[in-house]
């Protein structure tokens, strides 16, 4: 009875203005956590998941682990599966997903299960944990088990969409569409063969919502045309800048010539972060962006479902001439007929890249990556030019755009392996300045300032009137960009700007700019028994599967650590990049050729394995395409150093002792 009271009181408290702070405070005490666990145990399986998720979201990482440990102790003391269930759910919802997966994949854990909901909750926890760890085959298998037991429960937290996304990553489009449909189709379905009906209902819903969005714009699109073929692509990357520009770029590169008119459908522009909103302004230059509030349409952008046809539809279009003296509408005559066919291209970033690579490598296909690029709309050109004139940036003088991702970027812990220490860039920046370049550093106000005194060095986030909407202008005008495989470098790829990827990461989705040079992070693997660390060369790292790692959890499980490039290596890579730009026909060194051959061998292995891969959609390696080179000097430096010298290097992410560098000369009010 007391547990039910606690649950009811907790719900009421959660809905109050200051209630969440009170719950957060209660979770910091053992008594509060134990009371919450007993209250959760009295709920139904779906409510348990909702309560656990909400409570874990309110707790700090250390409190989450204490919360899970309390549940484990109660389960051990009472020998009741319902508390073990709660332990699994807390771990699955917490930052400790690696520990959760280790427990959930242990067959001996099932011997402690008691009660009707225990197996279901355990499988649900497996599905969510596998999804977070990017173990998509395991996630699909677990989601199917939950669906078979309780098909409606996966709808509560949009879990069917996670299942659909997972199915698209294992290249099962039919299953992905089925999962997607179950999120929105609530009709009674036949138990024997529900798939055809699910497909019918969801395509009917998608078609209806798409036509509702398009209908106000069809008359103007069809003007003076007897036949019209329309392409529709779905966008909703309001946060991730890279997806906001690269998804539509690759769609346009692949498909723009097949359509008379293109529409992009996505959420309200106001919902985008400033940087991502600028991407919409750029793609609006190539196809009209239309806003929708349809939940199915908004979630299509993260799905790889294929293409679907609507039509051909026979339209009778009249031109409105105005009103006569009796306020009657006047229309043109005769009526014009237009046959309109609409193709919905439902592909996400990964499936688009897969198509780009496979078609580019096919000698029978005329498509080639980097044969076409985006350009800036005139409005952004004008804003960028005015800003540069006002701030003294000389557009007639060469400049380099610098972006280095740090721990403040997105503040996403599971992506921390992509962060870098900006202090290692100082010698390279000073070299560029001495060579006559201007250096424009982009980012936000959370970046660490560098103690560089120069009239040609600009830390834009601290300057008046700077905004992320200007970044594409700077990058499009740069001689080259120093990027780090994070958000803004997507502009360099979409615009065809030469790119130096500093602290680069091996990843299958990296499709090179026309001229791209890499200064990779270094890969180290720990021996769990002897605690020895060995450095992996590029080919060894590829064989270890790092090109398919999408989060820090995967690196931790594989005992692989990434370390930043040194300041000497970054400087050398900048010098190599300038040499290549000065002489584009520069021949590759033996080490560069060796790297390219190693990449080609691994790409061939991925293509051959196909669905046998743990990540079937990743049966390609983007850097196998033309245009990608290893920094030759950095490669030679690392070969000369050898693995023993590399072991003594300080790991990336640790700080050297000493005071933080003071602010540079250039500082301004907030933009």
CATH number for the domain that contains residue 98? 1.25.40
Q: In the predicted model, is pLDDT for residue 353 greater than 90?
A: yes
pLDDT score at 647: 44
Instruction: Give the mean pLDDT of 284-313.
Output: 94
Q: How confident is the model at residue 407 (pLDDT cuts 50, 70, 90)?
A: low
3-state SS of 483-518 is ECCCCCHHHHHHHCCCEEEEEECCCCCCCCCCCEEE
Residue 544 lies in a domain: no
CATH of the domain at 387: 3.40.50.2000
Dihedral angle, C-alpha 297, 303, 305, 310, nearest 10 °: 20
Question: Distance between CA atoms of 545 and 556, rounded to whole angstroms?
Answer: 13
Q: How does DSSP assign 525-590, residue by residue?
A: EE-TTT--EEEE-HHHHHHTTGGG--SHHHHHHTTEEEEPPPHHHHHHHHHHHHHHHH-TTPPPPH
Please write the tens of the pLDDT for every residue from 602-657. Answer: 999 999 999 999 999 999 999 999 999 999 999 999 998 876 444 434 444 433 33
Please say which residue of 153, 177, 197 terminates a domain. 197
* pLDDT tens-digit map of 244-272: 999 999 999 999 999 999 999 999 999 99
Q: Are the C-beta atoms of residues 339 and 226 closer than 8 Å to each other?
A: yes
Looking at the fold, whether 92 and 226 belong to one and the same domain comes out as: no
Considering the domain architecture, whether residues 466 and 608 belong to the same structural domain is answered as: yes
**Do both 489 and 638 map to the same domain?**
yes
* Boundary-marking domain end, from 177, 197, 217: 197
Same domain, residue pair 186 and 227: no
Measured distance CA(635)–CA(648) in Å, rounded:
18
DSSP state of 611: G
Using DSSP bridges, classify how beta strands 499-504 and 516-520 pair: parallel, antiparallel or unpaired. parallel
Counting beta carbons within 10 angstroms of the beta carbon of residue 470, is it exposed (0 to 12), middle (13 to 18) or buried (19 or more)? Answer: buried
Q: Say yes or no: 344 and 418 in one domain.
A: no
pLDDT computed for residue 7 by the predictor = 54
How high is the pLDDT of residue 660? 32
Judge whether residue 113 has pLDDT over 70: no
How much is the pTM?
A: 0.87
Question: Token digits for 505?
Answer: 């990461």
SS3 state of residue 400 = strand
Note whether residue 663 is domain-resident.
no
142 and 287, same domain (yes or no): no
Q: List 172's β-bridge partners, or say none.
A: none
CB atoms within 10 A of CB 563: 18
In contact, 622 and 512? CB cutoff 8 Å: yes
The answer to which of 145-149, 171-175, 522-526, 541-545 has the lowest mean pLDDT is 145-149
Same domain, 342 and 443: no
pLDDT tens per residue across span 17-65: 667 888 888 898 999 999 999 898 888 877 888 888 889 988 888 888 8
98 within a domain of the structure (yes/no): yes
Q: How confident is the model at residue 659 (pLDDT cuts 50, 70, 90)?
A: very low
pLDDT tops 90 at residue 213: yes
Stretch 346-352: mean pLDDT: 97
Residues 214 and 124 in one domain: no
Instruction: For 23-34, write each residue's pLDDT tens digit.
Output: 888 898 999 999
Q: Coil, helix or strand for 591?
A: helix
Distance CA 541, CA 598 (A): 11
Residue 204: inside a domain, yes or no?
no
Single out the residue in 151, 173, 197 at which a domain terminates. Answer: 197
Asked if pLDDT for residue 316 goes beyond 70, the answer is no
Q: pLDDT tier at 156 (50, 70, 90 boundaries)?
A: confident
Mean pLDDT of 520-542: 88
**HSE of 184 in the Cβ direction (CA atoms, 13 Å)?**
24
Could you tell me if residue 494 is inside a domain?
Answer: yes
Q: Within 10 A of 314 (CB to CB), how many other CB atoms are there?
A: 9
- Mark whether 456 and 486 lie in a shared domain: yes
Domain-located, residue 532: no
What residues make up the domain containing 263?
Answer: 209-317+332-361
pLDDT on residue 657: 36
235 or 419, which is more confident: 235
Same domain? 503 vs 610: yes
User: Cα(552)–Cα(560) distance, rounded to whole angstroms?
Assistant: 10
Question: Which tokens belong to 516?
Answer: 């791209």
- Asked if residue 101 belongs to a domain, the reply is yes
Going by pLDDT thresholds of 50, 70 and 90, the confidence category of residue 312 is: confident
Kindly state whether residues 170 and 33 are assigned to the same domain: yes
Going by C-alpha positions, the residue among 273, 282, 574, 245 that lies closest to residue 444 is 273
Please check whether residues 347 and 390 belong to one and the same domain.
no
Determine the Cα–Cα distance for residues 387 and 382; give it in Å rounded to an integer.
9
Inside any domain, residue 48: yes
Cα distances (Å, whole numbers) of residue 595 to 519, 521, 591, 625: 12, 15, 6, 13
Among the listed residues 504, 511, 614, the one whose alpha carbon sits nearest the alpha carbon of residue 562? 504
Q: How many domains does the chain have?
A: 3
Q: For 658, left (φ over 0), alpha (ψ -120 to 50), or beta?
A: left
Q: Which burial class, exposed, middle or buried, applies to 475 when counting CB atoms under 10 A from its CB (0-12, 13-18, 19+)?
A: buried
> C-alpha 449: how far from its chain's center?
27
What is the mean predicted confidence (pLDDT) over 566-589?
98
Cβ neighbors of 311 (< 8 A, separation 6 or more) are 339, 340, 341, 342
């Amino acid at each position: 009875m007391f547990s039910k009271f606690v649950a009811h009181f907790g719900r009421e408290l959660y809905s109050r203005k200051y209630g969440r702070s009170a719950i957060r405070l209660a979770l910091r005490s053992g008594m509060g956590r134990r009371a919450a666990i007993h209250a959760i145990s009295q709920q139904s399986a779906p409510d348990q998941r909702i309560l656990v998720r909400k409570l874990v979201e309110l707790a700090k990482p250390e409190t989450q682990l204490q919360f899970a440990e309390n549940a484990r102790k109660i389960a051990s003391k009472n020998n009741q599966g319902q508390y073990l269930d709660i332990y699994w759910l807390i771990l699955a919802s917490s930052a400790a997903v690696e520990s959760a997966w280790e427990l959930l994949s242990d067959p001996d854990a099932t011997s402690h299960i008691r009660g009707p909901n225990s197996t279901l909750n355990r499988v649900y926890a497996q599905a969510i944990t596998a999804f977070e760890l990017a173990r998509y085959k395991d996630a699909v298998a677990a989601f199917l088990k939950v669906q078979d037991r309780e098909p409606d429960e996966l709808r509560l937290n949009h879990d069917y969409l996670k299942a659909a996304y997972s199915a698209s990553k294992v290249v099962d489009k039919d299953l992905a569409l089925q999962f997607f449909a179950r999120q929105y189709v609530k009709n009674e379905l036949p138990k024997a063969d529900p798939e055809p009906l699910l497909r019918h209902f969801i395509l009917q819903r998608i078609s209806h919502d798409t036509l509702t969005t398009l209908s106000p714009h069809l008359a103007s699109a069809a003007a003076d045309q007897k036949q019209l073929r329309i392409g529709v692509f779905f966008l909703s990357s309001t946060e991730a800048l890279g997806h906001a520009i690269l998804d539509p770029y690759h769609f346009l590169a692949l498909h723009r010539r097949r359509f008379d008119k293109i529409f992009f459908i996505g959420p309200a522009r106001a919902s985008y972060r400033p940087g991502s909103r600028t991407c919409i302004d750029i793609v609006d230059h190539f196809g009209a962006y239309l806003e929708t509030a349809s939940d199915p349409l908004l979630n299509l952008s993260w799905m790889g479902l294929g293409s679907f046809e609507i039509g051909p539809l026979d339209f009778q279009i009249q031109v409105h001439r105005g009103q006569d003296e009796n306020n009657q509408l006047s229309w043109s005559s005769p009526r014009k007929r237009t046959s309109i066919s609409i193709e919905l291209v439902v592909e996400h970033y990964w499936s688009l890249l897969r198509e780009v690579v496979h078609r580019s490598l096919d000698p029978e296909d005329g498509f080639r990556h980097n044969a076409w690029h985006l350009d800036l709309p005139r409005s952004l050109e004008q804003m960028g030019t005015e800003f540069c004139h006002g701030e003294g940036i000389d557009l007639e003088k060469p400049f380099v755009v610098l972006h280095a991702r740090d721990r403040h970027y997105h503040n996403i812990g599971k992506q921390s392996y992509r962060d870098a220490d900006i202090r290692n860039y100082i010698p390279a920046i000073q070299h560029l300045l001495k060579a006559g370049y201007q250096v424009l550093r982009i980012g936000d106000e959370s970046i660490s300032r560098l103690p560089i005194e120069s009239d040609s060095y600009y830390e834009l986030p601290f300057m008046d009137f700077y905004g992320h909407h200007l970044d594409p202008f700077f990058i499009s005008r740069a001689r080259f960009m120093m990027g780090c495989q994070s958000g803004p470098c997507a502009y360099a790829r979409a615009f065809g700007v030469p790119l130096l990827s500093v602290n680069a990461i091996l990843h299958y989705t990296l499709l090179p700019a026309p001229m791209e040079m890499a200064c990779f992070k270094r890969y180290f693997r720990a021996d769990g028994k002897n605690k020895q660390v060995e450095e992996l060369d590029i080919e060894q790292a590829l064989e270890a599967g790092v090109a398919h790692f999408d989060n820090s959890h995967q690196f931790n499980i594989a005992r692989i650590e990434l370390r930043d490039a040194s300041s000497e290596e970054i400087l050398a890579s900048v010098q190599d990049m300038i040499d290549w730009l000065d002489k584009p026909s520069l021949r590759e060194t033996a080490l560069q050729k060796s790297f390219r051959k190693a990449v080609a061998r691994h790409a061939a292995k991925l293509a051959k394995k196909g669905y046998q891969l743990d990540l079937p959609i990743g049966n390609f390696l983007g850097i196998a395409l033309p245009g990608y080179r290893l920094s030759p000097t950095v490669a030679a430096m690392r070969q000369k150093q050898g693995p023993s010298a590399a072991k003594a290097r300080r790991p990336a992410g640790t700080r050297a002792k000493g005071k933080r560098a003071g602010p540079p000369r250039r500082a301004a009010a907030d933009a």
